[in-house]
Amino acid sequence: MNKQPVAHFSFKTVEEALAGECGRMFWASIRNGVLDYGDKVSLFGKRLDEDLTFDIGNNRILMNLDLKGTILNFISYGETYPYDHPFPGVWTQKHYHQTKDLSFRLKIGDKTYDLKQLVGDYKTSLLGNVLPITEFFVDERAAVKLIAFAPISADGSERPGAAIYGLFIKNVSGEKIKGVVYSLESSERITVMAADGIEAKPEMQYEIRPGKSFWLPLILAAVPAQEALNVLSRQSSLEWLRATLTYFRSLTGKLDMPQDVYAGEFLERCVHQCFNATVMAANGEIAGENSWGSYPLRDEMWMKDFHYSYLPLVMLDPELARRGILWFLKWSVRYKGRFPGGIDHSISNSLAPVSMAGIYYSTTADKQFFLDHPEVAKKCRALLDGALSLRREKAFLLASRFISDGGSAGDYHTGSNIFAYYCLNSFARILEDIYADTKTASAYRGAAEKIKKELIAHNIIDGPFGKQYVEGINEDGNLPLKHVAVKGVDYPAPVPYMAHDGEESDTTLASFYGYTTYDDPALHNLKKFALSEHNILYMKTLGGIVWADPNSYGTTFPGYVSGLAATSDAESMSGVDGYLTKIRKLTDLDGSIWWWPFTQWKTTYRINDQPARGLGKCGWASGVFSCLFISQFLGLRYDAPSRALEFRPFSPSSDFTWERFRLGEGSFTASYKREESSATLEVTNHNSHPVTVSYQTILPEGKGEKEILLDGKPYKGKVSAGSFFKSRVVIVEGKVKAGEMGSLLVRL
């Protein structure tokens, strides 16, 4: 297995590190009283309030920083415990400690600046598109920068319960400057010390010659602090900064999309949103989610939110995957209390650890984890057997009462059964490969195929765009009746539920699960239907799917990602009215997305071009986007047991190069380049073993291949043909040795 990441950062000084490349899309500044920001498409450029935060953590702790670099919240976490919440989607809470409003004061010459109280002339951006870094433009004699990060070892094995909050001052005048930094103070919840052997004092005197600098890295350690302090003492603050950036680069790779910079950087920010929503207890065990993302802090945890925000981490960080599987096995089924509980309370919640086990094994081929934890197979089998006992009388489909807080539509809920299909198939492979249990594996695969057959027979109807899946249907073949209050109409009686629920995401991930292809007409038409006026839950003025009463809640963000799955070309993706453009307009200045971007939650109701930071940041939508974008738009899947990489790039808005990305234990660089008369796919294998690559080139509509070059040589071997919407797909298989690059060039 590939355990050690390749170092990507070689800076030798703090100044060099802080001058590193920042993200182009996600930053904001106030200069001379004027707000400026990175992506001018974002509607949040019209709105600045206290809920704009730049978030960073290492799972043990989380920090929310404002535009001035003030740590609004410093949070450390404890363990999970049960909470019989009145909402159907919540049955756990977590312990935590929170400290607010941490910042520096400094004196330069005879002038004193309280950085927390400044009214302007500062800019916060994201170093490496990850770490919040704030520049201050308050004194012409000094360049002042502030950075906050939570240290992580390069391989992710160490995540101390502490942060480094560093102040950097460089003398840019022609004369020596003197001053004072007024340090932070320890409290009952945080121990404050200086790193790098510096003695921390309430007033830190400095004297800087022209062109030289002063660096004060403070350690903020959650109490009890000694263990974290011992870990941090092994390296300097600069070394921890290098290790932390290296870890994050190994988590996401570096995605460059030259014709669509937003899409590339947004994927990275979505992964980081999922990462920062995930929390660990002091013993290193997963302790749930921050609810609902990285801001704001809540003690209760929505299980479905955590499930979706965790899915990309299962693909991208094997260590987090292992810990997450064990947590979900313990908590995924709601216990009896306010609700009857049981597996059928929410099938997709109950089976969450089964899906994660399937993703983990397929991307790592790690048999030892399952042998070391026999409880995984035992509990997963019990969950699957329990789910299968819920099948309806007239069709081999499973019954579920809720998705998250919302009910599952009809007797046969489509998304829940698609999810069960994936869980049965993926765990059958584990039983067969690891335990040689071919009998149970065969039974599970048979059940999965029955579910698929029944869904096709019962849950596809004639829709406005042609044959399409529906949200759910009753045993009698009719749409369920539901009471709805949308579009300003409070229907006096239940109506046929011709709807796509904004908080139903398993149909959005149907191609990720391998249930069907991305371009399956019935699936594609469902996604087109989701963000159309044919959906009774869609509100045109907001361009999204509403949750309950729109005058109270507005649109729910996972619905926008459901629409993204209807993308078929560059225009429908990133055009003026494209599905990704809708998401882009509602992406905040820090690269995050909010659960309810049009809402009365905290402010007055806002229409169309005046979004609000409603409810909280949305790890659910970030996780679904990440899985969909990686698997379908970048077109990358790695099967570790067979050491096979599938590369079928769709990416209609831009060519791309994704450097040193990781899928489980597989590490690669992949690029996709198009010219008028050719398309080129390249894969570099960074693993210690050869990999079989299935190059799948989607040709322009109406085009066929004239010549194929594999690894630079004319190819005369087997060519398989596929289709993608109305285009031909050329499929060629090649071997790429360890440390080498393979390529396929198709001339048109």
Supply the DSSP string of 337-399, one letter for each residue: SSS--SGGG-HHHHTHHHHHHHHHHHHH--HHHHHH-HHHHHHHHHHHHHHHTTB-SSSS-B-
CATH of domain 634-747: 2.60.40.1180
pLDDT value for 5: 54
Query: Are the beta carbons of 387 and 398 closer than 8 angstroms?
Result: yes
Phi then psi dihedrals of residue 164, to 5 deg: -115, 125
Query: How far apart, in Å, are the Cα atoms of 540 and each of 486, 537, 701?
Result: 11, 10, 31
User: Interhelix angle for 414-435 vs 352-364, to 10°?
Assistant: 50
Tell me how far apart the alpha carbons of residues 453 and 458 are, in angstroms, rounded to a whole number.
9
Domains of the chain, by residue range, sit at: 14-251, 460-628, 634-747
Q: For residue 265, give the nearest of 560, 706, 658, 738 by alpha carbon.
A: 658
C-beta neighbour count of 641 within 10 angstroms: 14
pLDDT value for 561: 98
Contacts of 427 (CB under 8 A, 6+ apart): 354, 357, 358, 380, 381, 384, 444
C-beta neighbour count of 613 within 10 angstroms: 25
| SS3 state at 592 | coil
pLDDT value for 236: 97
Locus of tokens 């669509």: 260
Tell me how far apart the alpha carbons of residues 31 and 70 are, in angstroms, rounded to a whole number.
18
pTM: 0.96
| SS3 state at 307 | helix
Classify burial at 194, counting beta carbons within 10 Å of its beta carbon; exposed 0-12, middle 13-18, buried 19 or more: middle
Tell me how far apart the alpha carbons of residues 141 and 144 are, in angstroms, rounded to a whole number.
10
Mean pLDDT of successive 10-residue stretches along the chain, which has 748 residues: 59 96 97 94 90 97 98 96 96 96 96 94 97 96 97 96 98 96 94 94 95 97 96 97 96 97 98 98 94 94 97 97 98 97 97 98 98 98 97 91 93 97 98 98 98 98 98 95 68 82 96 98 98 92 80 84 97 96 97 87 52 92 98 98 98 97 97 97 98 98 96 96 96 98 98
